[in-house]
Each structure stands twice: as C-alpha cells, then as structure tokens.
Amino acid sequence: MAGRTKVGMLNNDSPVHYAACFKVFLTALETTKEKSRQFFESKVPDSLLCEPGAELRVLGIGSGSREADSFMLKKLLQRHSSVYNRVVEPSEELIEEYKALAREDASLGAVNFDWRQQTAEEYFQTKDDTKFHLIHASHVLYYVEDPDATLRNMWEQLEDGGYML
C-alpha cells in the first residue's frame, strides 16, 4: 500500500495537521450556514404570502439541514402566530434528531409539526391536496429517481404566489 493513505491515518500520524484541517472544515460549514440564512432572507420576504396571524403552511422535504429549517421557522414565526410544518424524511434517525431539536427549542412551540417518514417519491404518491405557502428541499434532488417529476409534484402542492426553494 505504498503511496496510499489509509482512512484515519491522518488523525493517528499527524494529529496537529488533522486538527488544523478540521478547523478549516468547521469554518467552511459555518460560512455555508450563514450563506443559507442570507439566501433565505433575501429570497423569502417577511410578508410571506398569507395574512399576518394566519397559519402559514410549510413543506420541508428532507431534514438533513435541521438547523436551517429551524432558522426558517423562527423567522416565519416573527410574522405569523403559527406555522404548520410538514416534514418528509425517509430516515427515522434524522426525524428523531429533528424532533429532539424541536422539543428542546421553546421558540418553536407555535410550530405544528407533521412528521412523514417517507421518501419524496412515496410522499407524492399519496396525492395529498394540501397547498403550501413555502416548499423547501435542501440536497434532495440528488437522491430522487426522477428530479423533473419531483419538482413538478412540489410545484403542484405550492399555493398560488408561494415560494419554492
């Protein structure tokens, strides 16, 4: 195996180099989170699509970005007294992590969560008539069999004048 690095050898052979690399990774991760926040704030107005005080309906497909979802929900709660948030996620583990985050964060108390442990394809096969003011899917299209059909299905569940990210 001359000339090749085994997985984990960097940590064992050069902990100082590993620590430096990990710090760079964490900095990049924080920058990405901040860019996501800025993107959301620049694309979704505070006066989102329904009267202040009315329940806003949000469809989140994939919960891999729970912190970003939490940020969006908190921002929406600044203008709306309640938010209905349907979460579609195939991983039971990620749903449980998201549920724990929601329980621990008292500022999300006005969010009515509807948890769906399903793939995007399974969810859209249910043919639900609910329309959403905001639909977001972060890093989901990589994993679906037919991205065009998934986008079309998302579009069909979007309320007139709604936003899809």
SS3 140: coil
How wide is the angle at C-alpha 120 spanned by C-alphas 57 and 130, nearest 5°?
A: 30
Domain borders along the chain are 9-39, 44-164
Residues 154/164, Cβ–Cβ less than 8 Å:
yes
Mean pLDDT on 156-160:
91
Q: What is the 3-class SS of 59-128, one letter each residue?
A: EEECCCCHHHHHHHHHHHHCCCCCEEEEEECCCHHHHHHHHHHHHHCHHHCCEEEEEECCCHHHHHHCCC
pTM of the predicted model as reported, rounded to 2 decimal places: 0.73
Query: What percent of the chain stands above pLDDT 70?
Result: 65
In words, the CATH class of domain 44-164 is alpha beta
The pLDDT of residue 72 is 82
Dump pLDDT digits (tens) for 75-128: 888 888 889 999 998 888 888 888 998 999 999 999 999 999 998 999 999 988
The pLDDT of residue 144 is 84
CA-to-CA distance for 84 and 48, rounded, in angstroms? Answer: 14
Is the model's pLDDT at 5 over the cut of 60? no
**Amino acid, res. 8:** G
The pLDDT of residue 7 is 38
